[in-house]
Structure 1
């Protein structure tokens, strides 16, 4: 003990322990998590050495807050990459250290607890050197030491520009370096815009290749499909790499066989290996699938929510089209419906029946925070199909699982068989869907039903190129002998609605875009995606463009979109890069030119049972007002009416707001009592001095009874604008649903 105390009192102990905290621990983290890339090590050394020269010999009260924040950044990065396969942004730091989110999404703890322990220990040792050596001045660093961070960061920049890597961002950067590079990139882009200000940015982008309906291909079937019904099975977060036929077709080096049973089913159907997911988030994936249009290629208001303000474009969506042609249309998911307003969006796009977690009466096998576990879900879904079979009308059924969402719960025997809970959850889903498909075959459903199995988004795979955009489409059709086992060409979620209407030889509205999976095309096609913070565009002529957070674009020679490898051709910024962004912006505005002056109504006459206590801000939300966009300089008005349904029971209501999951204070009471005789009626507003994206309202309640949220309207407008004539809550609810 005396030896350790003596060492900590030495003049250079403070420097050595600070090096351990700022450089050794991050390098060990990168090595332990398999994020090995020379540029990543260079990034850690560059930022670590920069903090070292800035904080060494500084007062403890000045250095300590910076080091604590830096430690939280490291923990947040490891947690978010472990959970969803992406590097966080600044707002995610609040999200990931939120105790409630940690409890719900990580099962009550960190995915990498050793990292937090190592950082804390290193910080305490550094503090001990300060205390024990307080009477001994720390020696100065040589002046040339200040050049080390600069040389390291310049070296990183030079390597990325001379021979850029398309590896995952967390392999190439740590978070402070990424934010620094993004800021430099933004300044550079603005300078380029100023230098090139000759009017060329006013030229509209070419959009026909991304938005047109293309039915010029040769049909695979000589006659309309024989199926009477159609079923779309949407698996939460599953990437295309989990299907063996896809890995083989694209010569993928990823060989982990997590879904062998679904892969065997894929051998009996038509697979589309080069299948693109256009964005993250379930509601965006469902919109693209069912409505034949790209959802927002950023964090703006989901188009499904925007569509609630319209009464024409929704009629072109697949459920509405099939309903108009005599199908009974049904939507069933294993989670609650109100979050992300699916209780309103699904009926609005044409589903006759929309059901969620509350429909299921069969017991669950797991206590899963987000909803029904996959085995129990598919058992309930099988009963639902049995009810549909008794009907005389043909039917469409869309299913959505939730079991492969973090925290990736699975039964104990699965957790024992797999290395991680995520793998165990995928294995549990594989067994569940295999049993479901086998039961459908045994009951004869596959003989008269077109079954499409796909995913809403991809939870990514560490180290697999473009895994966040890699989806899958497995089609099981009665006339399987006429269809290829591997469908060549590039397709994506925007093609699904067109493909199903084409299968039945039904008229396809011009409002839909994309191609039909049931046709062969002689030429390539344009397609886009926005995942993991990267905007990607394939021109259909052998070039994939990848634009990163620095607003720099790189071209790769790639016949298709999804590929295990691609040859780097060059990089650029300026006008060409802005044209890629302009295409994405034009797609974002396919429904609404502006988010201003849209009257969103999230209330309804539905009776909502309350829980005895609030467990989670996300799962317990009573309304679907999530991920809204509010432009800079605008003004937002909110009106709500909540009443208790039971005269004998009081309800207690809280209203929270979050922007990118970070709490935003609205100055509202922490808790509001509501009775049947005294409903809660509120009308408030707030300014938006800066643009807001991913702005969510969380209306929470607890008690022994139930409530009715008859009105929850949100309007964002220009300040000083005359207030429009108010609709009644009933009229507005009817308009929105």
Structure 2
């Protein structure tokens, strides 16, 4: 009884509450979420016990904020993994703790794990109640020697991983703080190794194998294809594992019958199962597909944005090439166009018409925050195709769905049939694209049109290795009898442009990379991808390499890129690991080079309808200047000129916000005056980038009755000169909030 009373005392009850928050809840949730793996449990115990030792009997001002911060990280981490199948990187820390991110991620469906949130909240409340019962004089923090126990566990985790590395996803192996700390230490180690090796920055790295245009294979068709038109159907976020023929071909352990109707169509055409997606994010996937080049293999400014300053390279993209050869070119998507500047990037690629959500006049079947639901989208697309078929010119049409983008949306009957909204949305898309392809066949379009079905990126599959990089390519051609049902070999988005041009026997520009899906090759090829924080490369000779966030690389003997049963050969770090990263960095510079100066113009002079009330920084954004990289030690100048179009007498209220990794950041932006019919707004301001800013976004928000026109929204970044630095140091601090260098406002 004395022993029981001792453990029920306030002191030990507080200790038990801390253990519950930092150790027991993570361990139990790991098991319930299906993330069971010895390394993960060891990481949870090590980090949880370390926090318990450090916070036991500390003051409320120290313990409570850290407990709340821990709970937010834990919950947001689980939500992110459930939604997009990846664990955060170091640069996502602000992204995860931002309440706006959490609210947007769970829009319409609430938290996907409300019991976890409830358990964390109750635990903190219980801690506060117990602390109030405790006498302040009785509080005695644990001795410092107790820290040795969790530190020993962390050291054991590192040693075990080195001797027997796991192939599981990051969240199976790491608690989130452990992962973030390990990543930071690894980056520091890499910097030290680079410094000690005296390797000059920017040393030349051979990337010829990745940039090569290879049309030396044996053609599958005896002559140019008979199709008159080309239709590219891009499905938001769909991994190749959702197609049963892909799973069967690669012997994947994934057993979900997720998209039966598209799987049926995959059995009718030529399916490429070992198909690599090179990155996350729609604009990056579209760039790789349509411009025959690798997208950025990091979170830097998308190459699609950089394309706006490179008209020569733009003319080599597939739409521009098809237009030069007599095709009318069209791009149609279910979402709005301004986000990430697709209203400018797609025309720059060579599309004659670029249309988004505003084009659709047919009624949607359900309300979705990003745009048209998939069924309504394909119904509208079918009517658009019928219009194209009336014209004399051949045409190229690229379609982009949005319904399987987070937050996932589906009708009530689908939500009732499936365990979560994600699978319900995928099933809804499967029926929608199945109906669409059935209609195309019934109308005879498959007899004169090359149809390609693929996805822009993969939203991943929990517990499935490589799912974040696994795509698919399905070709339906008039010459289907001459094509194999299953295309052998490793291909990826970088190959799509060369493949379409090769099908029509059109010349392929030399700057295009990749191979043709319409050819057989007797030898392998080098190919690379960066998804879910992992840089992966296949050398085309049976060697697959994967480098994680700690810059630790593992080699496997694998005939293909997507292969769950490859043979582990060992791990390496140091110079060899840096070489792969340097190849990725060289590929990232294919459009802009190493020049830190850059200028982007995001104004398109088209009327933009305002809403009487704005509700969302993303859906209501009026400019497409998102996810830019602003290099360190540079200065950025933003210039805006805005005019009113049919505004009422009250005018329009405008606001410009800035975000980094989707989180609000403070930049000294001058307030924007009210915009009226006779009083345009013109603003210019400058700020410094002492450190590199990545995933940096501008959000121009407005509300009013009528429309506006952006005549100018330019973002210019140049290196800081000695005179700029001197002027900055001489400027009183009160006049330079948040490193502001200068500003000018007039209307």
Band of TM-score, shorter chain = over 0.9
Q: After TM superposition, give the deviation of residue 228 of structure 1 in Å.
A: 0.7
Q: After TM superposition, give the deviation of residue 195 of structure 1 in Å.
A: 3.3
Q: After TM superposition, give the deviation of residue 166 of structure 1 in Å.
A: 2.0
Identify the residue that residue 448 of structure 2 maps to in structure 1. Answer: 448
Alignment of 1:239-388 (within 5 A): 239-388=239-388
1:196 maps onto 2:197 in alignment: yes
Please list the CA deviations of residues 255-302 of structure 1 after superposition, one character each: whole Å capped at 9, or x if unmatched: 101100000000000010100000000000000000000011001111
Determine the C-alpha separation between the residues in 1 that align with 2:21 and 2:94. 22
Please list the CA deviations of residues 410-467 of structure 1 after superposition, one character each: whole Å capped at 9, or x if unmatched: 0000001101100000000000001000111111000000000000000000011100
Identify the residue that residue 655 of structure 1 maps to in structure 2. Answer: 656
- Going from structure 1 to structure 2, the CA distance change for 1:631 and 1:669 (only over 3 Å counts) comes to closer
TM-score, length-normalised on structure 1? 0.95
Determine the C-alpha separation between the residues in 2 that align with 1:197 and 1:91. 27
Identify the residue that residue 461 of structure 1 maps to in structure 2. Answer: 461
Determine the C-alpha separation between the residues in 1 that align with 2:723 and 2:150. 55
The 10-residue stretch of structure 1 (250-259 or 183-192) with the greater mean CA deviation from structure 2 = 183-192
Determine the C-alpha separation between the residues in 2 that align with 1:703 and 1:100. 24
Q: Work out whether residues 637 and 717 of structure 2, in 8 Å CA contact, stay in contact via their aligned partners in 1.
A: yes
- Going from structure 1 to structure 2, the CA distance change for 1:664 and 1:351 (only over 3 Å counts) comes to same
SS at the partner of 2:684? strand
Identify the residue that residue 596 of structure 1 maps to in structure 2. Answer: 596
SS at the partner of 1:472? strand
Q: Work out whether residues 599 and 714 of structure 2, in 8 Å CA contact, stay in contact via their aligned partners in 1.
A: yes
Q: Work out whether residues 455 and 472 of structure 2, in 8 Å CA contact, stay in contact via their aligned partners in 1.
A: yes
Please list the CA deviations of residues 461-485 of structure 1 after superposition, one character each: whole Å capped at 9, or x if unmatched: 0011100000000000111111111
SS at the partner of 1:231? strand
TM-score, length-normalised on structure 2? 0.94
Identify the residue that residue 731 of structure 1 maps to in structure 2. Answer: none
Identify the residue that residue 432 of structure 2 maps to in structure 1. Answer: 432
Determine the C-alpha separation between the residues in 2 that align with 1:638 and 1:589. 24
Identify the residue that residue 744 of structure 2 maps to in structure 1. Answer: none
Q: After TM superposition, give the deviation of residue 65 of structure 1 in Å.
A: 1.1
Identify the residue that residue 154 of structure 2 maps to in structure 1. Answer: 153
Q: Work out whether residues 90 and 184 of structure 2, in 8 Å CA contact, stay in contact via their aligned partners in 1.
A: no
Please list the CA deviations of residues 577-634 of structure 1 after superposition, one character each: whole Å capped at 9, or x if unmatched: 1110110011000011135332211112100000111121112111111111111100
Q: Work out whether residues 465 and 565 of structure 1, in 8 Å CA contact, stay in contact via their aligned partners in 2.
A: no
Q: Work out whether residues 645 and 706 of structure 1, in 8 Å CA contact, stay in contact via their aligned partners in 2.
A: yes
Q: Work out whether residues 12 and 139 of structure 1, in 8 Å CA contact, stay in contact via their aligned partners in 2.
A: no
The 10-residue stretch of structure 1 (234-243 or 203-212) with the greater mean CA deviation from structure 2 = 203-212
Q: Work out whether residues 672 and 681 of structure 2, in 8 Å CA contact, stay in contact via their aligned partners in 1.
A: no
Identify the residue that residue 636 of structure 1 maps to in structure 2. Answer: 636
SS at the partner of 2:404? coil
Determine the C-alpha separation between the residues in 2 that align with 1:83 and 1:321. 37
Q: After TM superposition, give the deviation of residue 388 of structure 1 in Å.
A: 0.6
Identify the residue that residue 571 of structure 1 maps to in structure 2. Answer: 571
Please list the CA deviations of residues 93-135 of structure 1 after superposition, one character each: whole Å capped at 9, or x if unmatched: 5444545444433125322111111011111112222111225
Q: Work out whether residues 648 and 705 of structure 2, in 8 Å CA contact, stay in contact via their aligned partners in 1.
A: no
Identify the residue that residue 137 of structure 1 maps to in structure 2. Answer: 138
- Going from structure 1 to structure 2, the CA distance change for 1:96 and 1:363 (only over 3 Å counts) comes to farther
- Going from structure 1 to structure 2, the CA distance change for 1:103 and 1:182 (only over 3 Å counts) comes to closer
Q: After TM superposition, give the deviation of residue 500 of structure 1 in Å.
A: 0.5
Determine the C-alpha separation between the residues in 2 that align with 1:139 and 1:351. 70
Alignment of 1:476-487 (within 5 A): 476-487=476-487
Please list the CA deviations of residues 533-575 of structure 1 after superposition, one character each: whole Å capped at 9, or x if unmatched: 1111111111111111111111111111111222221111111
Q: After TM superposition, give the deviation of residue 370 of structure 1 in Å.
A: 0.3
Identify the residue that residue 678 of structure 1 maps to in structure 2. Answer: 679
Determine the C-alpha separation between the residues in 2 that align with 1:511 and 1:300. 22
Q: Work out whether residues 104 and 616 of structure 1, in 8 Å CA contact, stay in contact via their aligned partners in 2.
A: no
Determine the C-alpha separation between the residues in 2 that align with 1:276 and 1:65. 43
Q: Work out whether residues 334 and 371 of structure 2, in 8 Å CA contact, stay in contact via their aligned partners in 1.
A: yes
Identify the residue that residue 735 of structure 2 maps to in structure 1. Answer: none
Q: After TM superposition, give the deviation of residue 669 of structure 1 in Å.
A: 5.2
SS at the partner of 2:639? strand
Aligned residues: 719
Q: After TM superposition, give the deviation of residue 147 of structure 1 in Å.
A: 2.0
Q: After TM superposition, give the deviation of residue 350 of structure 1 in Å.
A: 0.7
Identify the residue that residue 128 of structure 2 maps to in structure 1. Answer: 127
Identify the residue that residue 171 of structure 1 maps to in structure 2. Answer: 172
Identify the residue that residue 27 of structure 1 maps to in structure 2. Answer: 27
Q: After TM superposition, give the deviation of residue 145 of structure 1 in Å.
A: 2.9
Give the CA RMSD over aligned residues.
Answer: 1.8
- Going from structure 1 to structure 2, the CA distance change for 1:696 and 1:143 (only over 3 Å counts) comes to closer
Q: Work out whether residues 453 and 475 of structure 2, in 8 Å CA contact, stay in contact via their aligned partners in 1.
A: yes
Q: Work out whether residues 9 and 129 of structure 1, in 8 Å CA contact, stay in contact via their aligned partners in 2.
A: no
Identify the residue that residue 413 of structure 1 maps to in structure 2. Answer: 413
Determine the C-alpha separation between the residues in 1 that align with 2:667 and 2:150. 42
Determine the C-alpha separation between the residues in 2 that align with 1:405 and 1:548. 26
